[in-house]
Amino acid sequence: MEEVIYNDLNKQMKNTIDHYTLEMSKIRTGRASTAMLDSVKVDYYGSRQSLKNIAHFSVPEPQLIVITPFDPSSLEMIESAIISSDLDMSPNNDGSVIRLNVPALTEERRQELIKFVHKIIEEGRVSIRNFRREANDKLKSLQKNEGLSEDNLKRALENVQESVDSSIAKLGELEKSKEKEFSSN
């Protein structure tokens, strides 16, 4: 039974790390990235479509994203979706492609984003600590109700702590990586 608890914990922590990795990829660093466009939805002939389903992206320069729609008639729909999104960028439509110039970050904005990254990563750490608490409570309940031995409980709690430490370290690496991206621009 303690293996089930341990496996559930690892699954929850992996999902948490994946979630926060995705969140970090959405934060603009002043460098062009196609991940910036993942949240853009386009009203495409009566249905909301993800931009990546109706166009191809390329990053020919560090500050430029070029969007080439599969259907040229969708250019204006894509342009209006980008304008209404929270990207804070102005698309340039030349009739066949849309060019997005990614503005460089100001020092003030860079500091705000670093604080935001710290806040997001701390939320991840709190989530992982909550998973640890839940797993430890379940293990202690097993000891009470199903006679898990003291030695097995101690070993299981140590395994939980090792997994938690590893996951928190991964979040720390993610945080440092994002900070490095900000300082390299």
pLDDT in tens, 103-134: 888 888 889 989 999 999 999 999 999 999 99
Residue-wise burial string across 56-76, b where 16 or more C-beta atoms lie within 10 A, e elsewhere: ebebeeeeebbbebeeeebbe
- Summarize pLDDT for 139-150 with one digit per residue, the tens: 999 888 888 888
* CATH assignment at residue 89: 3.30.1360.40
Give residue 116's pLDDT. Answer: 92
Give residue 60's pLDDT. Answer: 92
* Residue where one domain finishes, among candidates 70, 101, 132: 101
Beta bridge partners of 91: 100
110 and 153 both lie in a single domain? yes
95 and 63 both lie in a single domain? yes
Which of 55-69, 82-96, 100-114, 171-185 has the largest mean confidence? 55-69
Structural domain total, the chain: 2
Q: List the domain range (segments joined by +) for residue 13.
A: 2-26+106-183
Does the structure show a pLDDT above 90 at 31? no
Which of 15-19, 29-33, 61-65 has the largest mean confidence? 15-19
Residue 37 DSSP label: G
Give residue 105's pLDDT. Answer: 81
Structure tokens at 33: 């990235």
* Residue where one domain finishes, among candidates 81, 101, 121: 101
* Residue where one domain finishes, among candidates 85, 101, 117: 101
Residue 163's pLDDT band (boundaries 50, 70, 90)? very high
- Prediction pTM value: 0.71
Structure tokens at 11: 């699954």
129 and 161 both lie in a single domain? yes
Give residue 29's pLDDT. Answer: 77
What are φ and ψ of residue 2, in 5° steps?
-65, -25
Residue 23's pLDDT band (boundaries 50, 70, 90)? confident
